Amino acid sequence: FKKGGGTIVEEQWPAMGTADFASVMTKLRGMGDKVDVVWNFIPGSGTVNFINQYSQAKLKPQQVGPQSNADEFFFDALKDSAVGVIGAGQYVQSMNSPRNQAFVAAYKKKYNRLPAPVDVAGYDSVRLIIEAARRLNGKLSDKNAVRQALVAAEIDSPRGYFKIDAKDGNVVQNIYITKVVKRADGSYAHDVIKTIEKVRDPDTSCKLNWE
């Protein structure tokens, strides 16, 4: 953010479990036009409280953060408060690729709910293991061969591009910048407004010896 020319004018660190963010809202209101964007990451129900209170306070700076801030599972609790929130993540249900649409339909039919990013992560992990085992004809005793098979494996993921990085074993994947919208039928969804393709973890990632 700073390298791109941005300036951090204030940081607030509410305690874990905070439900009332009135002091944060008051601080933001007092800063006026000094703030263009508010980035927040508050795990769990705290993010619902924050976004709802932010909307009630009628604050103008754009809200951004992880896509999970306004997760689809929170839409019933957030309603219109979620509209306009910008996030970044590796998967959203509303991606309109044929592969994802087929996955969402099959998942909903089997489990009677829509998939979350963690569900896609689990699905892709199992698919990856199966593909690696297939390449090795089920012979998994050679760890180095398994590693190479995992790197070589290619799967058709609902999230789009998905590959294991030979360098460190992390996932190479697209990151989707999304904005919450309200559809004509009254439902809410993440619209993908930008795709950053084939993102690798930076060199600051885990130093565990992958080899």
In tens, the pLDDT along 25-62 reads 999 999 989 999 999 999 888 999 999 999 999 999 99
Query: What string of DSSP letters covers 63-117?
Result: EEEEGGGG-GGGHHHHGGGGTT-EEEES--TT---HHHHHHHHHHHHHHSS---H
Domain stop point among 89, 117, 142: 89
Amino acid 191 reads D
Number of domains the chain contains: 2
Whether residue 61 is found in the same domain as residue 118: no
Q: Using DSSP, state whether 51 is helix, strand or coil.
A: helix
pTM: 0.89
pLDDT in tens, 148-206: 999 999 899 999 999 999 888 889 999 999 999 999 999 999 999 999 999 998 766 56
Does one domain contain both 51 and 113? no
